[in-house]
């Protein structure tokens, strides 16, 4: 138990080394969706559509549409060189000529992950968006970083009164850096 009386959870999440093995990722259909996340196809399509609409609004530099799609208290996280904080500049209306070329968009309940490059193909980016009730509430931006998204959960069959056994299932991994033959630092995003 932790100091607040809640069960302590232990997770074991095997990571791949920078030059080592790759995880075999399960199909999206097998990814666990928690009970507080969107579970029907319509809601998943809506989350994905909201994110795609945001990229369109950013491409057109349409601040009004951006404001309708993004929560006023958007939480933004960034990993990468500070001079590549393009999304922050675009979301706050600063002048930035960066164009996000999207190569893939995948959804996992309320989390939508998009991946792409800049026009020249020299900057790799991945965005993990959180969508709630049709509004984007959080973005995690990764620049020139190999990202793995892992779903954490509790194995109900192994729980006890003082601790619960957990699991970590990789559900998504950046594909572009490996296609380009680049070795980039890697991070795991737990959802």
Structural domain tally of the chain? 1
Higher pLDDT, 156 or 19: 156
In a domain, 184, yes or no: no
Rounded-to-integer distance, Cα 20 and Cα 92, Å: 39
Would 78 be classed as within a structural domain?
yes
pLDDT band at 176 (very low <50, low <70, confident <90, very high): confident
Q: Is the pLDDT of residue 164 over 80?
A: no
Cβ neighbors of 46 (< 8 A, separation 6 or more) are 38, 131, 134
Residue 138 belongs to domain with CATH number: 3.10.450.50
Kindly state whether residue 8 falls inside one of the protein's structural domains. Answer: no
Q: Is residue 97 part of a domain?
A: yes
> What's the CA gap between 53 and 4, in Å, rounded?
42
Q: Give the domain range for residue 94.
A: 22-28+37-144
| Single pTM value for the model | 0.72
> Given the structure tokens 């996280």, which residue do they identify?
77
* Tokens 């959804």, located at residue: 107
How far apart are alpha carbons 22 and 123 in whole angstroms? 22
Cβ–Cβ < 8 Å for 32, 184: no
For residues 124 and 143, what is the distance between their CA atoms, to the nearest angstrom? 6
The reported pLDDT for the residue numbered 38 is 43
- 137, part of any domain: yes
* Amino acid 167: pLDDT: 77
Q: Which residues pair with 60 in a beta bridge?
A: none
Residue 5 lies in a domain: no
Q: What is the pLDDT of residue 156?
A: 61
Mean pLDDT of 5-10: 32
Weakest-pLDDT range from 31-40, 41-50, 83-92:
31-40
175, part of any domain = no
């Amino acid at each position: 138990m932790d100091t607040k009386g809640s069960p302590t959870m232990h997770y074991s999440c095997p990571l791949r080394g920078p030059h080592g093995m790759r995880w075999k990722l399960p199909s999206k259909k097998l990814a666990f969706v928690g009970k507080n996340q969107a579970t029907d196809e319509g809601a998943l399509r809506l989350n994905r559509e909201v994110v795609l609409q945001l990229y369109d609004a950013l491409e057109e530099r349409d601040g009004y549409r951006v404001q309708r799609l993004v929560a006023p208290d958007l939480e933004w996280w960034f990993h990468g060189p500070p001079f590549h904080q393009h999304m922050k500049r675009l979301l706050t209306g600063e002048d930035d000529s960066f164009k996000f070329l999207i190569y893939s968009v995948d959804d996992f309940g309320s989390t939508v992950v998009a991946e792409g490059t800049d026009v020249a193909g020299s900057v790799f980016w991945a965005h993990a968006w959180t969508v709630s009730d049709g509004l984007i509430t959080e973005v995690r931006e990764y620049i020139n970083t190999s990202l793995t998204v892992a779903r954490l959960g509790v194995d109900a069959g192994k729980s006890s009164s003082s601790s619960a056994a957990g699991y970590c299932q990789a559900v998504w991994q950046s594909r572009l850096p490996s296609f380009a033959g680049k070795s980039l630092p890697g991070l795991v995003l737990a959802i």
